[in-house]
């Protein structure tokens, strides 16, 4: 259950700017209360709109007494560690959920940002033909993130228990499955593969049903129970 001093807040809209507005208002409230920097996890299933939500917050958020570079966004997909289709198919759903994102590297990045104010890493190379972690070279270009009043880690599994002591706000974005699936088809085009949808779903179902059910989040945007 969510502690009494951290109630979940539900916003009915699944599109448009209302979810971003709710999140921005909560960020402003916490910053005004003197909590900074704020580390925020934006979690949700594939196609929920996490990246869009994070980008909208980054573009539209204005801190009271505005300073530049108010929001730093870290893309969770850069830490993919799930491996190839063959690797995935040999794993149980719980194993997929545990291994799909390298949370240890994410944790290291968040810790370095808190401690040093800057973190650098090499993300997963999505263009590689070989997806197994022991054979895929990381992206040649490093990603560099710097501390800001708000740091957002966005992506599925971004609020997992192993990261929670480093997060000040855990956000879940929920929208109906048919909306998510259409977004994935529109986004991926001809490269969209139903087989991978099934693989993602098995891991996500375990994670959101067992590891991080809705009540574990501080802020829930979308329609509860709509996935």
pLDDT at 74: 97
In the predicted structure, residue 154 carries a pLDDT above the cut 70: yes
Residue 5 domain-assigned?
A: no
The CA distance from 157 to 163, in Å, is 10
Residue 226 domain-assigned?
A: no
pLDDT at 7: 42
Quick one: which of 175, 168, 169, 174 has its CA closest to 218?
169
The CA distance from 138 to 129, in Å, is 12
- Domain at 76, CATH number: 3.40.50.300
pTM of the prediction? Answer: 0.83
pLDDT at 179: 74
Q: What range defines the domain where residue 117 resides?
A: 10-220
Q: What is the pLDDT of residues 72-108, one digit of tens each?
A: 999 999 999 877 778 878 889 999 899 899 999 999 9
Residue 159 domain-assigned?
A: yes
Residue 99 domain-assigned?
A: yes
In the predicted structure, residue 195 carries a pLDDT above the cut 50: yes
Residue 227 domain-assigned?
A: no
Average pLDDT, the chain: 81
Indicate the number of domains in the chain.
Answer: 1
pLDDT at 4: 38
pLDDT at 170: 96
């Amino acid at each position: 259950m969510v502690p009494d001093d951290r109630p979940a807040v539900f916003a009915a809209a699944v599109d448009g700017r209302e979810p971003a507005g709710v999140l921005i208002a909560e960020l402003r409230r916490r910053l005004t209360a003197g909590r900074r920097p704020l580390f925020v996890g934006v979690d949700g299933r594939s196609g929920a709109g996490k990246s869009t939500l994070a980008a909208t917050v980054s573009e539209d958020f204005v801190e009271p007494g505005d300073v530049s570079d108010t929001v730093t966004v870290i893309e969770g997909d850069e830490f993919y560690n799930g491996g190839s289709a063959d690797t995935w198919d040999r794993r149980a759903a719980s194993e997929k959920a545990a291994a799909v994102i390298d949370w240890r590297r994410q944790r290291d990045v968040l810790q370095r940002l808190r401690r040093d104010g800057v973190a650098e890493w090499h993300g997963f190379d999505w263009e590689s033909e070989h997806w197994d972690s022991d054979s895929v070279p990381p992206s040649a270009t490093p990603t560099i993130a710097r501390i800001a009043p708000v740091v957002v880690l966005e992506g599925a599994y971004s609020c997992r228990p192993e990261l929670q002591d480093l997060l000040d706000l855990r956000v879940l974005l929920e929208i109906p499955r048919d909306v998510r699936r259409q977004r994935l088809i529109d986004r991926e085009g001809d490269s969209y593969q139903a087989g991978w949808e099934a693989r993602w779903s098995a891991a996500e179902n375990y994670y959101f049903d067992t590891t991080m059910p809705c009540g574990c989040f501080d802020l829930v945007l979308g329609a509860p129970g709509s996935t």
